[in-house]
Amino acid sequence: MIYGQELIDELYQKRILPKDKLIALLQAQNPELDAYLFSISQRIAIEQFGRRIYTRGLIEFTNYCKNNCYYCGIRRDNRHVQRYRLTTEQILNCCRQGYQLGFRTFVLQGGEDPYFTDQRMEEIIRQIKGEFPDCALTLSIGEKSRDSYQRLFDAGANRYLLRHETANDAHYAQLHPPELSLANRKRCLWDLKAIGYQVGCGFMVGSPGQTPETLAEDLLFIHELAPQMIGIGPFLHHQQTPFAQQPDGSMELTLFLIGLLRLMIPNALIPSTTALATIHPRGRELGILAGANVVMPNLSPTDVRAQYTLYDNKACTGEEAAESWAQLQKQMHSIGYCLAVDRGDFKPEVHGTQQK
Residues tagged in the binding site annotation for (3R)-3-methyl-D-ornithine: 140
What was the pLDDT predicted at 355? 41
Contact 278, 61 (CB under 8 A): no
Q: What pLDDT shows up at residue 352?
A: 63
DSSP helix/strand/coil, 112: coil
> Long-range contacts of range 253-256, CB-CB < 8 Å, 24 or more positions apart?
253/26, 253/29, 253/205, 253/206, 254/205, 254/206, 254/287, 255/34, 255/38, 255/286, 255/287, 255/290, 256/26, 256/29, 256/33, 256/34, 256/37, 256/290
Per-residue pLDDT of the chain (356 residues; tens, 9 = 90+): 899 999 999 999 999 999 999 999 999 999 999 999 999 999 999 999 999 999 999 999 999 999 999 999 999 999 999 999 999 999 999 999 999 999 999 999 999 999 999 999 999 999 999 999 999 999 999 999 999 999 999 999 999 999 999 999 999 999 999 999 999 999 999 999 999 999 999 999 999 999 999 999 999 999 999 999 999 999 999 999 999 999 999 999 999 999 999 999 999 999 999 889 889 989 999 999 999 999 998 898 777 876 767 665 666 554 555 567 888 899 999 999 999 989 999 999 998 644 43
Output the DSSP codes for 32-85: HHHHHHHHHHHHHHHHHHTTEEEE-EEEEEE---S---TT-TT-TT-TT----B
The pLDDT of residue 323 is: 65
pTM over 0.75: yes
Q: Which parts are annotated binding residues for S-adenosyl-L-methionine? A: 165, 185, 236
Residue numbers in the known binding site are 65, 69, 72, 140, 165, 185, 236
Binding residues for [4Fe-4S] cluster: 65, 69, 72
Our CA angle for 317, 322, 323, nearest 5°, is 85
